[in-house]
Structure 1
C-alpha cells in the first residue's frame, strides 16, 4: 500500500469538530474489536469532558493535525506531561491522544505524526519524547510504539470514568537537531 501524502500542522479551534470525528470513529472501531478499555464506548463528540479536552489542546497550541488532500486524517497532542505522569529530571516533549482516521490505517499517517513529534522535539533541543498508551487487550498498541523505536519506561494505573485504566509509559531518546544545538 502506498503511503498517504500527509502535511502536519498546528491545529486550532476550527479543527475541533474534525478531530472529534476521528476520535468517534476510533472509539467505534475499538469497541467493535473488543478494545473498549482504551477510550470507552461513548463518542467523544457527545462528551462535554472530552470536547473540552480537545478544545484545550487547540487553545493551548498543543494540537497537531495531519491533513491529506485538505482532510484531517490524524491528530495528537504535544506538550508537557500530564500531572499524573511521573516526572523526569530533564526537558521532554510528551505525546498523547494520537488518533488516525481508520480509513487511512496502514497508509503512514501514524508514522508521519510520530516523525513530526520527533522533529519538533529535536527542533526544540529536547532529547526525550515520551507517551502513554493503553496496555490492555492484545498489547497491539504497545507493540506498535515499540516497533516505532519506543521502549517501556514505566506503568500507570488510573481510576476514572472508564473504570481502571492500565497503561505503559514509553520513551524514545532523540538527537537534538544540529541547527538548534550549541557547539561544545
Structure 2
C-alpha cells in the first residue's frame, strides 16, 4: 500500500467532492447527522460553491493510496467566515476528510503531518483547525491526539464547533 500526497488542481474537484460525499455517508451511517448534514456535498449547490471557493483560497491536497484518492484537505492563510482570524500569520486546515474505504489507514494523520510541514515551509508557526464539537467530542479528541490544543469554542446557529491550534 503506497500513500502519496499531491497538490490538487481544478480538475480534482470531482475527486474532492467524492471524498467529502463518502465522509457524509460514513458519518450518517454512524448516526451523526449534525456534523455535515445528511445530503452529499455534491447534491447541494451551496456546498459545492463553498468547496470551490475554499479550494480557490488556498492549497488543496489529495492523499492517494495506490493511486486512488483516499483523503483531502485544503490549507488556507485564514479560517472560514465563522471563525475569527488569528492576530498573527497562520495556516488553517479546512475540508479535511477521508474516503470511507480508507478509514484506519492513517490518511488524516498523514494529511495533518503534511499540514505541519507546509506550515513550517511557509515560515509560519501557527497551524489551526476547527471541527464539530458534538458526538461526545470524538473529533476534538482526534485532533488533540494529533498534537492540537483546544482554544475557543464557537457556534453557527445550533452547530457547535471547536477551534484547535498547534505550534510548529
Distance in structure 2 (CA, Å) of the matches to 1:43 and 1:27? 6
Say yes or no: does 1:167 pair with 2:161: yes
Please report how far the alpha carbon of residue 61 of structure 1 lies from its aligned counterpart in structure 2 after TM superposition: 4.4
Q: Is the 8 A contact 1:133 1:167 kept in 2?
A: yes
Aligned to 2:156: 158
Map 1:102-141 → 2, pairs under 5 A: 102-141=100-139
Contact 1:78 1:96 in 2 (8 A): yes
Kindly tell me: are residues 112 and 23 of structure 1, through their superposed partners in 2, closer, same or farther at Cα, counting changes over 3 Å?
same
Extract unaligned runs of 5+ from structure 2. Answer: none
After TM superposition, the score normalised by the length of structure 2 is: 0.93
Q: Which residue of 1 aligns with 2:12?
A: 15
Please give the TM-score of this superposition, normalised by the length of structure 1.
0.86
CA-atom RMSD, angstroms? Answer: 1.3
C-alpha contact 1:12 1:61 (8 A) present in aligned 2:
no
> What SS does the corresponding residue of 1:40 show, helix, strand or coil?
coil
Q: Is the 8 A contact 1:27 1:40 kept in 2?
A: yes
Alignment length (residue pairs): 167
> 1:50 pairs with 28, 47, 58, which one?
47
